[in-house]
Every structure is written in structure tokens, then in C-alpha cells.
Amino acid sequence: MGTCDTYLFLSVVHIFILCFMAKVEGLNKTISGFYVFGDSTVDPGNNNYIKTAFRSNFPPYGRDFSNQVPTGRFTNGKLATDYIASYSGLKKEILPPYLDPNVINNIEELMTGVSFASAGSGFDPLTPTITSVIPIEKQVEYFRKCKKRMEDAVGKQRTENHVKKAVFFVSAGTNDFVLNYFALPVRRKTYTLLAYHHFLIQHVEHFLQELLAEGAKKIAVSGLPPMGCLPIMITLNSPNALFQRHCIDKYSSVARDFNLLLQHELHQMQSKLNMSNSDAKIYYVDIYRPIADMIQAHKRFGFDEVDSGCCGSGYIEAAILCNKVSNVCLDRSKYVFWDSVHPTEKTYHNLFLASLHTIDFIMNN
């Protein structure tokens, strides 16, 4: 190699190194992993691996995935967390369920992110007992196991750095009201609505403390949706549900009250963290407004059906009641809800778009 060639060669190497460093610096600003906890709104199929009736790993669920694969997601395609995972660059397409045997022992998948969420779960420990699903407490336990696997693979120090730069996200609470407090007498006998709010908030706080204790520095907490607009709530609580279907504000206002209390609690926790010189950040993610907008201003989003789901009659079907013999609406993009409880993929995508500024903020701070 002549001097000139050597020089050229070194320059190329130099450029490579500069590019690599720029990339690493860029990565510093983004996130290292994405860990999700909660209920069916963020469960990609963990319930396929446990004994529960709260499942959706059969048609027509997953109808709009390529090959129409029912993955265990309670919708026709992707969840908002799938869009976030691919937007962040951590995943190509989807955020996988932790309990999938192809995931639980795959260090690459565990590092970039998984969901521990379980459909039917909630902050109240009684809720997952009613539904025989994975309690949030157990989901955190799974994260500890996941962290242990990472430590075994890349060492304690690297795992600690990794966890610091990861985003933790929780979406739960609707089942605590819809399947538990409103549906069964147990909690109502002991707690007024206000007392139950505080009871749930205590559990949220405990959960967040556990994540902080594991080294989490970026935690996002979703609020509740307008619960009175869920098709099943309209069906069960309207005097004439076949002909007069409107959101029932009594239940949506419970969600609004809870969301206010939740924001207050998160703010207080943030203040305490600041005072103890912690650099941990807790974010609130509003899903109430975007969903209420999609329902109220439905034409703007191209939706025609806002008060019944796409599967079956749309009034009562969810989980096993929405199955391979159910009629499915032709144009899913015209529906806010896929079944009587869960949003369509399009609604999840709109939710992702509506939260994009918050997501960018979390990733860059």
C-alpha cells in the first residue's frame, strides 16, 4: 500500500469512527429498552401462556395482521405500544409478550423490550384474582427475573446503565372499575367510590416505588379512558341499549376524577424525587382526551361507528364471545372499537399519534 492509499484508508476508518461515535451520541438521547406493564390495552399475548378465560388468541382477533394471526392482542392488529416500540427503533414491528418461550430466553428481545402485561389485570390485587390473570405485582417480579437474565448476560454495571435509559410504561385501572368495583359487591361494601380511588392510587404508588427501586428513571403512567363510552358499558347501563346508545357520563366522570387524582399523586411523587436529588422522571400520559375526541369528532377521523364494536353485534362480545363464528364488520377503519371493550388498531394508532409529543419528550429527556 502506498502512502496515499494508506492515507485514504485511514480517512475511511476515521469517517467510520466518527459516524459510529455520532450514532452512539445519538443513541444517548434515545432509549435503551421499553418495558410495559398492565392490562389488555398493552398485553401482546401473555395470557396465551396462563390458565384464564381472558384470552384472544383465536380468530377474528388479529384479523389485520399479515396472515391474520391471532396473537393474543385484544384487537384486530397492533397496540399503541407496538407503534411506540417500532417508532423508538428498538423493535422492527411489535413489542413481544415476555412469557413467549421464544422471548423469555432471548437476551436481545429482553434487552430491547417486552410487555409483562396481562389482559384482565388491574391495580387492585382482587381484580386479577377475579379474572385468573397475572397481578401487576407478579409482572414486576417478572421484570426482576428479566433483569437477572440481563445481568448474567452483560454484567451488573451494564444492566444498571441499561435500566437507567429504559422507558417503563403502565396502562391499567379500567378493569378495577368495570370488572370489579361496578360489577361486584365486594369492594363496594367496603369502599365508597372516593375511598376506592385512594385505595387504587396507593397501589399505583407502591408499584412505581418498586420500579424506582429496580433503577427505573423514566416511567410513564397512562390514565383511564372515558369508561362510559365502552360499548359494553352502554349495553349494560342504558335503559334502551338497542336503540339509544350514548356514552354514559356517570362512568366517564369516574375516569376523569381518577385521572385528576392520579396526576396529583404523580406530581407529588415527582416533587419528592426531586427533593431527594433523584433524576428519575414520572410522566402522565392522557388517553382520555384523544379517545373522547375520536368519539365526539368521529367524522374528522373517518369513523362511522363509535358506540358498538366491530365484532359480532358489537354490544356485548369480547374475549370468547368474539370468536370465529362471529360476524366481523367489513371496514375496520370505520370503527373506534374492535369488540365491546377494546379499541381497533386504527384507534390505537391514533392514540399513538396523539401521544407522539409526549413520547418524544420522554425519549429525549
Ligand X SMILES: *[C@@H]1O[C@H](CO)[C@@H](O)[C@H](O)[C@H]1NC(C)=O
Does the bond joining 60 to the residue before it have cis omega, within 30 degrees of 0? yes
Q: Is 267 in the site for ligand X (CB under 6 A)?
A: yes
**Closest to ligand X by CB, 217 or 349:** 217
Q: In whole angstroms, how close is the CB of 272 to ligand X at the nearest point?
A: 9
User: Of 28-36, 83-91, 265-273, 299-307, which segment contacts ligand X by CB under 6 A?
Assistant: 265-273
**Closest to ligand X by CB, 156 or 267:** 267
As annotated, the active-site residues are: 40, 339, 342
**Beta strands across the sheet bearing 218-222:** 113-115, 34-38, 167-171, 218-222, 281-285
**Closest to ligand X by CB, 31 or 351:** 31
Return d(Cα 285, Cα 222) in angstroms, integer: 5
Using alpha carbons only, what angle is made at residue 173 by residues 239 and 198, rounded to the nearest 5 degrees? 100
Q: In whole angstroms, how close is the CB of 271 to ligand X at the nearest point?
A: 4
Chain residue at closest Cβ approach to ligand X: 274
Cell 417480579 locates to 141
Residue among 163, 158, 115, 80 at smallest CA distance from 346: 80
User: Of 116-124, 205-213, 216-224, 264-272, which segment contacts ligand X by CB under 6 A?
Assistant: 264-272
Residue among 197, 232, 227, 208 at smallest CA distance from 124: 197
**Closest to ligand X by CB, 336 or 362:** 362
Q: Is 263 in the site for ligand X (CB under 6 A)?
A: no
**Angle of the 288-296 helix axis to the 345-354 helix axis, nearest 10:** 120
User: Of 80-88, 120-128, 155-163, 263-271, which segment contacts ligand X by CB under 6 A?
Assistant: 263-271
Q: Which of 106, 270, 333, 358 binds ligand X (CB under 6 A)?
A: 270
Q: Is 358 in the site for ligand X (CB under 6 A)?
A: no
Q: In whole angstroms, how close is the CB of 209 to ligand X at the nearest point?
A: 17
Burial code of 244-276, b = ≥16 C-beta within 10 A, e = fewer?
ebebbeebbebbbebbebbeebbeebbeebeee
Residue 71 makes CB contacts below 8 A (sequence gap 6+) with: 44, 45, 57, 61, 62, 65, 94
Measure Cα distances from 300 to 77, 293, 303, 330, 351 in Å.
22, 9, 8, 20, 14
Compose the 158-187 pattern: x for residues touching ligand X by CB under 6 A, - for all others.
------------------------------
Residue among 158, 169, 229 at smallest CA distance from 41: 169
User: Of 6-14, 92-100, 193-201, 267-275, which segment contacts ligand X by CB under 6 A?
Assistant: 267-275
Q: Which of 11, 129, 274, 327 binds ligand X (CB under 6 A)?
A: 274
**Closest to ligand X by CB, 141 or 205:** 205
Q: In whole angstroms, how close is the CB of 163 to ligand X at the nearest point?
A: 19
The count of chain residues that interact with ligand X, using the rule CB under 6 A, is: 4
Q: Which of 105, 253, 271, 296 binds ligand X (CB under 6 A)?
A: 271
- The footprint of ligand X (CB under 6 A) covers 267, 270-271, 274
